[in-house]
Structure 1
Amino acid sequence: MGIVNLMDKKNRFRKQFIVLIVLVLAAFSICSAVVIYVDPFFHYHAPLKGFPYVVDNQLSQNPGMAKNMEYEGCIIGSSMTVNFDTDDFKELLNVNTIKLSYSGAYPKDDYNILSIVFDKDTYARKNGDVKAVFFAMDIPTMTADIKTTKYPLPEYLYDKNYLNDVKYLLNKDVLLQYIMRPMIQGQGSDLSEIYASWWTPDYYNIQWVMHNYDEPEYVEKETAADAFLPQTKENLEVNILPFVENNPDTQFYFFFPPYSILYWHNVMQENTFEATFNQYSYVADRLLEYDNVHLFYFQTMPEILDLNNYADYSHYKPDINRFMVECFKDGSYEIHSSEEMKSELGKMRDMIAAFDFDELINKEW
């Protein structure tokens, strides 16, 4: 009798265990099905009509947007691009544009996302190709290691191996923060303004900039004038120029962002003045070799002298982003030759020489 009861208990526990396993698998299957259907990171398909998608995660959502959204142009680069409004590109340039910014982007970050943009299986490539790339050329990042990204990437969202997608399909944050929360709140992101900086207009003023400014310590030894060129050359040739060369029908709008005059004070404090100017010259010369490149140098804009246009030494107000799109249309500040670039760099030197940095830095803010 005891043996029979023991067998009954074992059978009952076995059945309960099987039921538990079935329930767990069912829960996992339902969770995965919901994630695949809504697909908040656009990993499998374009956005569902009417769903209030929240787009605030550059690392996780950019690859899916590059792969599955409908666009003719894309915005590439660092936080210097986050305040672009893609409606401006449609209005002024008649280009349906998507923002694929990475704050602090290194050249490898640009390479990773452009590899998806120009992959033959993306929606854009299958439907008319990519007409234009608007690319912020941040000179300070061009000395980064060619294989290094600014932040670790969720590789499972960048590769084509669906077996590792379990990290996406069974992700609590994906389910709660990017599906359930927007469903409850009923409000998603405006895709034309995604990733925009948190600064309100009140933060764009000289008092805020200088109050938060951390002046670099002065470096006694001057950096050699050609010190930055080898790494800059390697980044261009590995991470950027192959896309220009392999896509001659795509127009590339490279631009040097209009950092404030305070940026140049940092350069002088770090004693990399000539090395930095040589970087600008070298990059411009290489880019101007290509017929499908339009190069813009915005650093001689008079606006850079007024720190009321900035929230820190480099980040400018959205009005300047709008102005740059207008320049892409009418050609203002466009560089057509090495001689023009030398002329603009000469103007930049004059602006730096004429600016009273001592008064700015020593004033009580």
Structure 2
Amino acid sequence: MSNKRFLAALLGAGLSLVTLVSLIFYIIDPLFYYREQTLYRSQYIADARYQMPGLLRNREYETIITATSMGRNFRESYVDEKLNTTSFNGSLPASYAKEQAMVAQFALQEQKKVGHVIWELNFYSFAEEPDMVLKSSTPFPTYMYDQYKVNDIRYLFSSYNVDILQKNLEANKVRNERSRDVESLYKFGEVAPPETIERITKWLEETGELDELPENERREVMLTSFRENVIPLLEKHRDTTFTFFYAPYPVYNHRMFYEKHPDYLEERLAFKKEVFQLLSKYDNVQLYDFQDDATVTHNIKNYMGDAVHYYEFINNQIIDRIATEHPIRSMEEYEEKIENLRKQVIDFQVSEL
């Protein structure tokens, strides 16, 4: 056999192997990326960022939620009842604006019935470069969220899929029922210890001061990310309703940053004002801001003992208010809320809790 024929045969064998492996993983589909699985019972045990594209593609919904962990406890059945819709919660913990935008865009392109996007505005999400995604032991699978099918070859040859498939098959073998209900996926905090005055006091006392505010915390950085990740979706989907909200972080969380450096507060409040001005240009957009509601943010019974997260009943209250209350209607109204939050943070005393 000549060298050319040998190389051709070797190349053919290689292509055949690639095709066979691709076909096998396309059919088995460990992350249910292409379809809901019928060969074996689905168990959703992958990292949320890998599991999400298949769920976004194959669930049926009209409303998509994109958020950080502050939105993970929105329970779809409750949202559906209160907003008269069919929803799916696509929240990703510690997600940057780029990731949230990819969730929204993927949902809008895969589910033609989506007419409502509920999107959490989080300072942490915007306080980085516009293309920032979470860096972890498993790289963010950007290729699973884009529209280029040729990228799927990375999914079909991912070693991560082999591990997930093995765990899934083992779970079915031993009849492990964990993580089979999609609505309960990634919900958290049901048994989390509650916040305490003692922990808050110690936490604030140990807050160190900064000489300068980090550059990524300035409004210009956050606004750049906002313009590049949010505005293009508003421009492209003018027939879709976008509901933005600021989650009710506990007041002592804001106070901690204020004690680190007062400009944290000023830059974030300035960001809010400019975001409202940008959003006001769109008739299909509404904004809610719950951060100055002292009935929520000053009640430690609403929060887990991590100075950040609230319990699921607060997620329900957010949905109740979106369903029954008007969004912010004018800059004058919003400036009043912003000044209210500023005063609450500057004047805060632990004894108020």
CA-based RMSD of the aligned residues comes to: 3.3
The alpha-carbon deviation at position 54 of structure 1 amounts to 2.0
Cα distance per residue 1:231-290 (max 9 Å; x no partner): 222212211111112111211110001000111112212212211211121112212221
Partner residue, 1:17? none
Whether 1:349 aligns to 2:342 is yes
Equivalence map 1:8-23=2 (5 Å): none
Cα distance per residue 1:2-36 (max 9 Å; x no partner): xxxxxxxxxxxxxxxxxxx9xxx7xx969963x54
Structure 1 residues 48 and 298: CA distance shift in structure 2, 3 A: farther
The alpha-carbon deviation at position 114 of structure 1 amounts to 2.4
Question: Aligned to 1:203, what secondary structure does the other structure show?
Answer: coil
Using the size of structure 2 for normalisation, the TM-score is: 0.82
Q: Across the two proteins, how many residue pairs are aligned to each other? A: 329
Question: Aligned to 1:98, what secondary structure does the other structure show?
Answer: strand
Partner residue, 1:210? 200
Whether 1:45 aligns to 2:22 is no
Cα distance per residue 1:311-331 (max 9 Å; x no partner): 122211100000111111112
Partner residue, 2:8? none
Partner residue, 2:312? 318
The alpha-carbon deviation at position 44 of structure 1 amounts to 1.1
Question: Aligned to 1:325, what secondary structure does the other structure show?
Answer: helix
Partner residue, 1:195? 186
Which amino acid in structure 2 is aligned with residue 263 of structure 1?
A: N
Q: How far apart, CA to CA, are the structure 2 residues paired with 1:90 and 1:292? A: 20
Using the size of structure 1 for normalisation, the TM-score is: 0.79
The alpha-carbon deviation at position 227 of structure 1 amounts to 7.2
Whether 1:288 aligns to 2:280 is yes
The percentage of aligned residue pairs carrying the same residue is 22
Structure 1 residues 205 and 263: CA distance shift in structure 2, 3 A: closer
Question: Aligned to 2:101, what secondary structure does the other structure show?
Answer: helix
Question: Aligned to 1:53, what secondary structure does the other structure show?
Answer: coil
Partner residue, 1:133? 117
The alpha-carbon deviation at position 147 of structure 1 amounts to 1.3
In the alignment, which of 130, 137, 141 is matched to residue 154 of structure 1? Answer: 141
Question: Aligned to 2:31, what secondary structure does the other structure show?
Answer: coil
Equivalence map 1:257-296=2 (5 Å): 257-271=247-261, 272-296=264-288
Structure 1 residues 326 and 170: CA distance shift in structure 2, 3 A: closer
Q: How far apart, CA to CA, are the structure 2 residues paired with 1:109 and 1:170? A: 20
Question: Aligned to 1:135, what secondary structure does the other structure show?
Answer: strand
Ranges in structure 2 where 5+ consecutive residues have no aligned partner: 1-12
Partner residue, 1:329? 323
The alpha-carbon deviation at position 138 of structure 1 amounts to 0.1
Equivalence map 1:84-95=2 (5 Å): 84-95=74-85
CA contact (8 A) 2:36 2:58 kept: yes
Structure 1 residues 170 and 115: CA distance shift in structure 2, 3 A: same
Question: Aligned to 1:189, what secondary structure does the other structure show?
Answer: coil
Cα distance per residue 1:144-172 (max 9 Å; x no partner): 11111023313453352233233348833
Ranges in structure 1 where 5+ consecutive residues have no aligned partner: 1-20
Q: How far apart, CA to CA, are the structure 2 residues paired with 1:277 and 1:221? A: 18
The alpha-carbon deviation at position 210 of structure 1 amounts to 3.2
Partner residue, 2:10? none
Q: How far apart, CA to CA, are the structure 2 residues paired with 1:268 and 1:45? A: 48
Structure 1 residues 73 and 257: CA distance shift in structure 2, 3 A: same
Moved over 6 A (4+): none
In the alignment, which of 55, 61, 64 is matched to residue 65 of structure 1? Answer: 55
Cα distance per residue 1:308-354 (max 9 Å; x no partner): 2111222111000001111111126x212211110111221232244
Partner residue, 2:291? 299
Whether 1:238 aligns to 2:228 is yes
CA contact (8 A) 1:209 1:307 kept: no
Question: Aligned to 2:65, what secondary structure does the other structure show?
Answer: strand
Which amino acid in structure 1 is aligned with residue 194 of structure 2?
A: Y
CA contact (8 A) 2:250 2:297 kept: yes
In the alignment, which of 95, 98, 101 is matched to residue 108 of structure 1? Answer: 98
